[in-house]
Structure 1
Amino acid sequence: MEKVDLHMHSHHSDDADYPVAELIARCVREGVTTLAITDHNSAFSFAESDKWQSDTLNIISGIEIDCTFQGRNFHLLGYGFTPSDDFTQVHENFNDIQRELVPVKLAKLREFGFFIDDEHLARLANGRLPQEEQMGEAILEDERNANNPLLLPYRSGGARADMPLINFYWDFFGPGKACYQPVTYPALEEMADLIRDNCGIPVIAHIGANVKEEHEAILELMLESGVAGIEVFSSYHDDELTQRLYDFALEQGAYVTCGSDFHGRNKPKIEVGTCRYNSEQLVEIKRFLDIVSQ
């Protein structure tokens, strides 16, 4: 069956590591025929990826924007837009917010007795603002933390060792966790308008990763606020939630999309092109692709 993956990250995302060319080569190797690189708050990858367009590979412009809706933070995907200075401003605004939060996050981690080598963390960040996963990596690699029992779940054989870096993020920085820092991002409604103003289509990402209940009620409000589609097929959705989201999208007349959320070594269990959909569901995904490619 045709492989479509509309959610993946290149090194233009602070928490991913694949250069655009390597990411596209990986997609080709895995049989992906339509893709979008949706870097966090960055549209810079499209200028690089667009040159790989061919008769056998369809590449759509993409971005994933941190935004706030009714007091909760979500990720809004944008597709098929024309890159402009609006997206550069999104990137700059996000970096301004993160620049203020990084020292606060590091101070919280040090309260747990974790040793953090600032120079090592800077090397891992490679000139970018360090993200929570890189903080976890620096902590895990620091020999001074070798006997800290809080880190045992993330070491070889531990309960959280399957994806230690992203699990460290969720366990320490997820909503309600000890190092969580409340932050207000641009309003979802404003970001949906921005995407539309640049001829794109706004789609809410992996709702199952952001909330655990009342998915349909929240999505209905989002659709009323300018969101046009739902990422139904996601690495974060089990079969039951996927079917509910699919049925809901059809009932609401919303677009249906799919995405792996590939990051590279931060999420080693996630591979490009691994969205699970059947031939009937693929028809709905291609309906979206027909619109976004116009």
Structure 2
Amino acid sequence: MEKIDLHMHSNHSDDADFPVDVLIARCREQGIGTLAVTDHNCADSVPQAKALASDNLNVLAGIEIDCTFAGRNYHLLGYGFTPNDDFTEIHKNFSAIQWELTPKKFEKLRELNFYLDEQRLEQVCGGAIPQEEQMGEVILEDERNDDHPLLLPYRAGGARADMPLINFYWDFFGPGKVCYMPVTYPAMGKMVDVIRHNGGIPIVAHIGANVKQDHTQVIDEMLKEGVMGVEVFSSYHSPELAQQLYEFTVSRSALVTCGSDFHGRNKPKIEVGQCGYGAQHLAEIRRFVTVASA
């Protein structure tokens, strides 16, 4: 079956670790024929990725943008756009927000009596903005935290040890969790306008990771804002949710996409090409690819 993966991250994302060329070589090894590198709030990977396209590999311009809609934060994927200063400004704004939040995150973690070696964290990050997964990595490797009861689920044999770093993020920094940091990102409608103004297609990413109910109702409101489609097939979606989203998206004549959300070591169970669609869904995904490639 044809393999398409439209959501993955290179080391232009602060929480991923593969250079663009290595990431695309991995995709070739997995037999992927169409892909997009969708780095967080950053379009710097686009020219590098596009330069590696070939007769056997279709590469779409991609980005994943943090934005706020109806009081909640979501991720908006953009495809087929022309990179320019608009996207540079998105990255600059996002980075400023993250740097401002970083010391507040440290404070939250220390309130839980975690030892956090900031010098070691800087080494791990290589000068990039520290991400929650990297904070978790440094905390978990610090011997002073060995016996901390809150960290036992992330150690070998623990209930959250399958993907300890991303699970650390969700369990401590996810909405409503003890270290959650309320933040307002640019409005989704504004980011939709930026993508569409630059010839791109805005798609809401992995809705199942952001809300646990009323998915289609939320998406309906997003479509009114100019969102053009849904990442139906995702490593975050159960087969049942994916089928529900597929039927809904097709019924709205919106575009259907798929993506693994591959990062590398932060999400070791997720591999490129791991999207979950079936042969019966390919026609709709190809329809999107044709539109995004035009």
Q: What TM-score range do you get, normalising by the shorter chain?
A: over 0.9
Q: Is the 8 A contact 2:42 2:90 kept in 1?
A: yes
1:69 and 2:69 correspond: yes
The amino acid of 1:267's aligned partner reads K
Matches for 1:208-223 after TM superposition, within 5 Å: 208-223=208-223
Cα deviations by residue, 1:182-232 (Å, 9 ceiling, x for unpaired) = 000000000000000000000000000000000010000000111001000
Residue by residue over 1:78-126, the C-alpha shift from the partner in whole angstroms, topping out at 9 and shown as x without a partner, is 0000001000000000000001100000000000110011110001111
Q: Give the Cα separation in 2 of the matches to 1:131 and 1:277.
A: 30
Within 5 A, what are the aligned runs for 1:30-69? 30-69=30-69
In 2, the alpha carbon distance for the partners of 1:65 and 1:25 equals: 25
1:157 deviates by 0.3
Map of 2:288 onto structure 1: 288
Give, in whole Å, the separation in 2 of the partners of 1:279 and 1:131: 37
Per the TM alignment, residue 251 of structure 1 is displaced from its structure 2 partner at its CA by 0.7
Q: Where does 1:63-142 land on structure 2 (aligned, <5 Å)?
A: 63-142=63-142
| CA distance in 1: counterparts of 2:290 and 2:116, whole angstroms | 49
One-letter code aligned to 2:34: T
Q: Which runs of 5+ in 2 are unaligned?
A: none
Deviation at 1:280, TM superposition (A): 2.4
Question: What's the counterpart of residue 187 of structure 2?
Answer: 187
Pair 1:155-2:170 in alignment: no
Q: What's the CA shift for 1:278? A: 2.0
**Structure 1: how far apart are the matches of 2:149 and 2:109?**
14
Partners of 1:276 and 1:210 in 2: how far apart?
A: 19
TM-score by length of 1: 0.99
**Secondary structure at the residue paired with 2:256?**
strand
Q: Tell me which amino acid in the other structure corresponds to 2:286.
A: K
SS in 1 for 2:35: strand
Contact persistence 2:239–2:276 (CA under 8 A): no
Q: Which residue of 1 aligns with 2:201?
A: 201
Equivalent residue letter for 2:150: L
| CA–CA separation in structure 2 for the residues paired with 1:160 and 1:128 | 26
1:230-269 → structure 2 map (5 Å cutoff): 230-269=230-269
* Aligned residue in 2 for 1:25: 25
Q: Distance in 2 between matches of 1:133 and 1:278?
A: 32
Shift of 1:11: 0.2
User: Matched residues in 1 for 2:266 and 2:250: separation?
Assistant: 33
- Which segments of structure 1 move beyond 3 Å, counting only runs of 4 or more? none
- Decide whether the 8 Å contact of 2:6 with 2:37 is kept in 1: yes
Shift of 1:181: 0.5
**Residue segments in structure 1 that go unaligned for 5+ positions in a row:** none
Identity %, equivalent residues: 65
Alpha-carbon distance in structure 1 between the residues aligned to 2:68 and 2:125 = 26
Query: Which residue in 2 is equivalent to 1:173?
Result: 173
2:134 counterpart letter in structure 1 = Q
Q: CA RMSD in A?
A: 0.5
Q: What is the TM-score of this pair, normalised by structure 2?
A: 0.99
Equivalenced residues, count: 294
